[in-house]
C-alpha cells in the first residue's frame, strides 16, 4: 500500500471518533456569519445534518430549524451539549414527503437558507425498496425546492453523492434526477441553488467502518464484496465545514461542487489499517461478490463533466461540458409508481431517465 494512502486512512481514522484513546488532529472551529438568516436543516438527526447543526452553534444566525422524521435521534440531538442555553433553535418532527406539513413549516418559520441533507442512502436497501427511494430522494427533494421558490428562499444547499455519477443503482439514479432538477431550476430562479457532491462519510451512521471495527475486535469473519472495490472517503467535520463555507460565500451563483477527498481507498487497505488501530494481529477476510447496484469504483465526475479549481484548494467546481435539457416527463412516469409496482419495473423506469 502506498504511504500516502496509508496516511490518508490514518487521518480519517484519527478524526473518526471511533478510537477515543487516539487524540484527533486539530479541527478548525467554523465561525461564519449567518446573523440575518433563518436556517432550515432537513435530516437534522443524521450524520451530516447533526454535524452541520453542531457547527452552526459556533456561528451567528437568526434562527435554526432542525427537522427529522426519526424521533429518538432528534431527541438525542436536542439534548446534545452544543444546544444548551440556545433559545433560537427549534426541533421539529416532520415527514418531508408530506406537502401540508412542509408548507406549514415554511409558512411558520420563513427560512432563508435550506440545507437539504435528508435522504435514503444505502444502496442495497434502496435496490430492494425503490418506491421509498423515489418518495424521499426525488419527490421530497422536488417538494422542498419548489416550496423554496414559492417562499423566496435565498439559498438552497443540496447534499448529493458520488453515486449520482454515471449511476447504476436506484439510490444513485434518484440523487442524479434531483441534481438535474435543481440544475434546471437554477437557470431561471432568483434563489441560489448549490449542490455538494462527495463520497462516503467516514464513520457516519450506518457506515461500514464501525461495522468493520466491531467485526475485527470480536474476531468475526469480515466480508468484502470485491478484492478491488474502492471508495472516496471524507470525514464529516471536514465535509460540513466546506458545506458551510460554500453556503456563506455570497459570490457563488448556482453551481455544483465537490471536495478534495484524496485518492479513492481500497476497502481491503482500509481493513488493514483498521486492524493496526485495533491492535489485532490477524483478520479473517472473505470476498463475496458485488451486490445489486454496487460498483467496484465510484467517480466524482462523469465524462460530460470537468473539475475546475476554486479559490479554496479543498473545493472544486463541477462544470457540465454539454448541457442537455431536463426531461420533466420522468416525474409523470414516477408518479404512476406505487408500493405495488414490481421492483424490476421501477428500476426500468429509473434507468429510462439516463
Active-site residue list: 163
HSE-CB for 286 with a 13 A CA cutoff: 7
Burial of 108 from C-beta contacts in 10 A (0-12 / 13-18 / 19+): exposed
- Return the DSSP state at 336: T
What does the alpha-carbon distance between residue 134 and residue 27 come to, in Å, rounded to a whole number? 36
3-state SS class at 21? coil
Closest by Cα among 139, 254, 251 to 190:
254
Other beta carbons within 10 Å of 292: 14
HSE-CB for 148 with a 13 A CA cutoff: 31
The contacts found for 302-311 with CB under 8 angstroms, 24 or more apart, are 302/165, 302/166, 303/166, 305/165, 307/258, 310/257
Do residues 119 and 205 touch, judged by C-beta distance below 8 A?
no
Apex 154 CA angle, 150 and 158, nearest 5: 90
What does the alpha-carbon distance between residue 118 and residue 174 come to, in Å, rounded to a whole number? 13
Q: What are phi and psi of 155, to 5 degrees?
A: -135, 140
What does the alpha-carbon distance between residue 36 and residue 15 come to, in Å, rounded to a whole number? 32
Cα separation of the two ends of the chain: 36
Amino acid at each position: 500500500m502506498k504511504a500516502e494512502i496509508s496516511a490518508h486512512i490514518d487521518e480519517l481514522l484519527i478524526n473518526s471518533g471511533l478510537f477515543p484513546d487516539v487524540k484527533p488532529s486539530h479541527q478548525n472551529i467554523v465561525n461564519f456569519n449567518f446573523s440575518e438568516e433563518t436556517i432550515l436543516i432537513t435530516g437534522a438527526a443524521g450524520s451530516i445534518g447533526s454535524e452541520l447543526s453542531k457547527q452552526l452553534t459556533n456561528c451567528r444566525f437568526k434562527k435554526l430549524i432542525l427537522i427529522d422524521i426519526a424521533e429518538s435521534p432528534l431527541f438525542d440531538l436536542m439534548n446534545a451539549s452544543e444546544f444548551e442555553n440556545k433559545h433560537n433553535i427549534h426541533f421539529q418532527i416532520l415527514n418531508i414527503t408530506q406537502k401540508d406539513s412542509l408548507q406549514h413549516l415554511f409558512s411558520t418559520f420563513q427560512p432563508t437558507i435550506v440545507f437539504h441533507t435528508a435522504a435514503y442512502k444505502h444502496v442495497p436497501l434502496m435496490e430492494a425498496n425503490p418506491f421509498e427511494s423515489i418518495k424521499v430522494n426525488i419527490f421530497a427533494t422536488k417538494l422542498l425546492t419548489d416550496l423554496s421558490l414559492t417562499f423566496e428562499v435565498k439559498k438552497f444547499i443540496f447534499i448529493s453523492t458520488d453515486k449520482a455519477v454515471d449511476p447504476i443503482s436506484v439510490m444513485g439514479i434518484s440523487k442524479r434526477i434531483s441534481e438535474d432538477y435543481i440544475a434546471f431550476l437554477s437557470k431561471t430562479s432568483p434563489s441560489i441553488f448549490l449542490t455538494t457532491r462527495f463520497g462516503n462519510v467516514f464513520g457516519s451512521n450506518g457506515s461500514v467502518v464501525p461495522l468493520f471495527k466491531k467485526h475485527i475486535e470480536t474476531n468475526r469473519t469480515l466480508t468484502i464484496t470485491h478484492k478491488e472495490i474502492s471508495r472516496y472517503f471524507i470525514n464529516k467535520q471536514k465535509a460540513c465545514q466546506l458545506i458551510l463555507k460554500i453556503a456563506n460565500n455570497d459570490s457563488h451563483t448556482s453551481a455544483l461542487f465537490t471536495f478534495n477527498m484524496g485518492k479513492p481507498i481500497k476497502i481491503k487497505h482500509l481493513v488493514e489499517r483498521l486492524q493496526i488501530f485495533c491492535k489485532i494481529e490477524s483478520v479473517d477476510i472473505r470476498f463475496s461478490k458485488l451486490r445489486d447496484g454496487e460498483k467496484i469504483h465510484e467517480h466524482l465526475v462523469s465524462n460530460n463533466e470537468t473539475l475546475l479549481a476554486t479559490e479554496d484548494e479543498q473545493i472544486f467546481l463541477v462544470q457540465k461540458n454539454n448541457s442537455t435539457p431536463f426531461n420533466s416527463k420522468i416525474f409523470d412516469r414516477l408518479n404512476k409508481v406505487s408500493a405495488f409496482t414490481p421492483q424490476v419495473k421501477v428500476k426500468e423506469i429509473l434507468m429510462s431517465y439516463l
